[in-house]
Structure 1
């Protein structure tokens, strides 16, 4: 990725934002499904240990949801990597997602089921 492609986002900001595996997984998952609710994302993240989303425990999903809503989604939305509609709990890819694509490996994301 060249410096000219990162006009909206600074390289340091991208590296900091995407240094977290959860945020990279969110971007990968949304690239597959285009749109998800925060609860759907939490289920996917909670099941990333190899079990299906239905097998993830209630506490795991709840913890993942709290982290999503209070940490990861606001951080990604702040840099327009995702758009998060809080009242609807709807998450979609943002306008800067193309600028971070080289930093996110498809194999890191959670598989859409």
Structure 2
């Protein structure tokens, strides 16, 4: 494996290590785009394994701040997404194709209760 490939793999793993980024990318992969305000409730619900209507505004606010100041810029810096804070629009960029197979493996693990249990051991 050459250094460039190793660096790309390490960056992809680092990006997907955070659940907020994975959940955001799951949502974007399904719809190819989303609005920040709309996606915050859904992401907070996934994080806390509940319904969007049951997520309190404080959790949504913390997630919003985390997305705006951390996760969105990181994903944009790696060419995975493009976003506009004024409109709140978030769309996948060309770099998403590079991490899509790895993201799908994460999703499969997170969707399967048996695999989730094994990974927490």
Q: TM-score, normalised by structure 2?
A: 0.76
Q: Which has the higher contact order (CA 8 A, sep 6+)?
A: 1
Cα displacement (A) at 1:18 = 1.4
Cα displacement (A) at 1:63 = 0.7
Residue 61 of structure 1 pairs with residue 68 of structure 2: no
Larger helix fraction of residues: 2
Following TM superposition, where does structure 1 have runs of at least 4 consecutive aligned residues deviating by more than 2 angstroms?
Answer: 105-109
Distance in 2 (alpha carbons) for counterparts of 1:41 and 1:94: 17
Query: What are structure 1's unaligned runs of at least 5 residues?
Result: none
Query: Residue in 2 aligned with 1:20?
Result: 18
Greater Rg over alpha carbons, structure? 2
Distance in 2 (alpha carbons) for counterparts of 1:90 and 1:65: 13
Distance in 1 (alpha carbons) for counterparts of 2:73 and 2:57: 23
SS at 2:52 equivalent: coil
Query: What are structure 2's unaligned runs of at least 5 residues?
Result: 112-121
Measured on the aligned residues, the alpha-carbon RMSD in Å equals 2.0
Q: How many residues align?
A: 104
Q: How does 1:87-106 map to 2 (within 5 A)?
A: 87-105=86-104, 106=107
Q: How does 1:35-46 map to 2 (within 5 A)?
A: 35-46=33-44
Cα displacement (A) at 1:41 = 1.9
**Structure 1 residues 21-68: Cα deviation after superposition (integer angstroms, max 9, x where no partner):** 211111111111222111122111111122221221010111110001
Q: TM-score, normalised by structure 1?
A: 0.81
